Chain A
Amino acid sequence: MKKYLATRFMHMLITIFLVITITFFMMYLLPGNPLGELVEKLPEDVQANYMAKHGLDKPVYTQYFIYLKKLVFHGDLGESFVNPGRSVVSILKAGVPVSSRIGFQGLIFGIPIGLLLGILAAYKRGKVMDYFTMFLSLLCVSIPSFVLATVLQYFFAVKMQLFPVTGWGSFIFTVLPSIAFGVRSIGVHARYMRTSWLDVMNQDYVLAAESIGFSRTQLTFKIILRNAMLPIVTIIVPELALIFTGTFVLETIFSIPGIGSYFISSVTGRDYPMIIGQTIFIAVMYIFAMFLVDLLYMAIDPRIRLTDSK
């Protein structure tokens, strides 16, 4: 088992390395002045100064190694081009808690509702309730988050004025974006849980347990629930990582200062260090989350744990 984990860990590191490298070179292969419009209007010698300051006068490969060195040994992702003086890391530090908040709140709202709906659908299989809940789940998954966001914004903020239209601050600012983010999770988890629950419910070991005297409540909570949650766990974890890509558009719509809106503005403003830095951050989060899923699955499903040690 340890060998497997070590291999996976190595894979993770290699992938991260590749991501950093590829992203870096992708940005530098783009046409146009790397410093963007900000600097184009400046006289040539000032430009040269700027370039030297950011190390842009050196060949690409050297820049790459310098970048790597700074990243690995100092945790330094460079400085923003568009907002000079602000390090990428500091911008990330400011934005991450904001995006995370929306994401977490959305998941805390969406996942339990989704799971419960899924279990309900499983028990009412084939009946109207089943079709209804599954249709609802499909709806949740099919309506794009930004569509939902704009609809929510229009009805609850603009028309009914129950919530602020845009901006960030106290809890009330987080409500609409969280809901817009979390609704999709309801659908995803309801569908998965229904399948998983039905699957476990009909297993022989549930019947066998019943035959030695388990009551229905005991069966539900001690056996079915635990076994049905297994596959669910493996989708919850990546969802945590995908918070960061999922909030991009929501942050634009609600004018929320998370890393998503920074990312978008850095994309449109060609702020390369920001783009690279954020990409690396998000990718690393995701890759790490996938690794975590493997670990988790090993911890909770004995079948996997043991077959690998042979």
Chain B
Amino acid sequence: MAVLVIAEHDNASLKDATHKTVTAAAKMGGDIDVLVAGKGIKDVMAAAAKIDGVRAVLGVDHDSLERQLAEAMEVVVVGLMDGYDAVLSPDTTTHKNYMPRVAAKLDVQQISSVTGVESADTFVRPIYAGNAMATVQSTDAKKVVTVRTTAFAAAGEGGSASASDSAANIGDLKSEFVSEELTKSDRPELTAAKTVISGGRGMGSGENFKLLEGIADKLGAAMGASRAAVDAGFVPNDWQVGQTGKSVAPELYIAVGISGAIQHLAGMKDSKVIAAINKDEDAPIFSVADYGLVADLFKALPEFEAELEKAGV
């Protein structure tokens, strides 16, 4: 049995989500190869070759793969699947974009956002925004799986897999990349941060998110938000934590002015420690928080920042 893992990267560096997907693949058993599809990917391939448990790294370098366009990725992955029994990718937006195309072309039912791997054909996945967990067994000859990476530990680095270039047979595409508007930030990436501080509708405005910045700076935290705060236009969409946004599982998650709607909890309840600040003592967020502070956030946040300072954080 052979499993193909698709790397998460930005053409310059390999992302941790790849290591976590390798861990999920290892639970299926068999040989693991990593596909790096992109443009100018030598460094990424070298990094992937170091992941423990990887047999080989395949690199496909092509202009249309710089942004991993859905149609181009479909062609590359489907073209490789003769040699594999399963293909796994992280469940980030990049891969969610083309994995269903791969599954359809292989005539396979995709198994999305798995949080557990029981065997080579049996997986656990959240349904209904994480309010239920389904254990499903695939009867398809090949498995197409996306992985909720927060549910898996990262594979180590000490391996020395072989790395080789593979040709891309990408013809004319019906789509093209136009532009990208990426949020610039010196803070850690939301899904990889050790600490996350998120604001909700209770923040009242985008301006008030400044109250979280000083705390985020002190803690080296990434900043996130609830769907309500994003929908209200306080912060950009890519800050959204929840079932329809990003899933995070940091060491510490601080929820400020977030009531704790089911769909938000689905995206953060795997955090190791959860702290919540909310003025409504009946807010559902307190039912999952390890430490709850019932207080007006406009008073509590400056105090919290000052106390962090005092504690030498």
Are A and B part of the same complex? no
- Residue positions of A touching B, CB distance < 8 A: none
